[in-house]
Amino acid sequence: MAEIRVNGVSLHYEARGEGPGVVLVHGSWSDGDTWAHVVPGLAESATVVSYDRRGHSRSEDLLTQGSVHEDAADLAGLIEGLGLAPAFVCGDSYGALVTLRLATARPDLLRGIAVHEPPGSGVLLADPDLRPIGTAFADRIAAVRELLEQAESAAAAELYVDTLAFGPGAWSQLPAPVRHTYIRNAPTYLDELRDPDALDLDLTGLARYGDPALLTQSDDSAPMFGEVLDLIDLTLAKAERHLYEGAGHAPHLSQPEEWVRVVLPRALL
């Protein structure tokens, strides 16, 4: 366990293994511990860094309105500060959006990326044919946001897990420490929702990214994620797709051995 200071904020991180740098970016509500089941497999061949994004768990919270641009800048600072460039970066859910932002802003720091189900509903809202899908997703988010605005963190976390992330009844099946982390980090999700750029992507800028990109989804996740990945796939020059079977929104949790089997060869290229 260690800390690094980047962009005026102290970030908690953990590094394991030796070899080419691989950085793991967690999604909303969670923290770096979400990668615990895949780190050992990666660390056999690479230097693996997981971290808590600003405001989450053990990293510093500046108590100011954040942005996805800050998260991308923090990720850049982490890679540079730890001497990992060019790194292979894996992002899950909102962490995938952060990863794609970094690929747009600082492609020089990367040798490849893997992103799983980025919730980029903003790009759907911009397309008349896809707008109904993006609107339906935004409506479900609105119900979670209402609870967060009322400081009902536990209820908001449960609603998010059961209606947006994993499916009905999933909250009760999560281990108690994971539920605790989600509740503790609930305000960070409200912070993301207050950022107008959080769920959007600069596809024009992303088109300039030329290194390999692994785009993954699960066959039992919301169709919205596939629509977002289709638009990203059309944008990137070296995109590769992979479909997990029955893995849900977090295959690194539900199928860690399969996740490592899929991601590690790409990370070592």
**pLDDT tens digits along 103-122:** 999 999 999 999 999 999 99
Q: What is the mean pLDDT of the chain?
A: 96
Rounded CA gap, 80 and 54, in Å? 17
- What is the pLDDT tens value at each position of the chain, 269 positions in all? 799 999 999 999 999 999 999 999 999 999 999 999 999 999 999 999 999 999 999 999 988 888 999 999 999 999 999 999 999 999 999 999 999 999 999 999 999 999 999 999 999 998 999 999 999 999 999 999 999 999 999 999 999 999 988 889 999 999 999 999 999 999 999 999 999 999 999 999 999 999 999 999 999 999 999 999 999 999 999 999 999 999 999 999 999 999 999 999 999 98
Whole-number Cα distances in Å, 269 to 81, 92, 136, 241: 23, 20, 38, 16
pTM listed for this prediction: 0.97
Omega cis (within 30) before 20: no
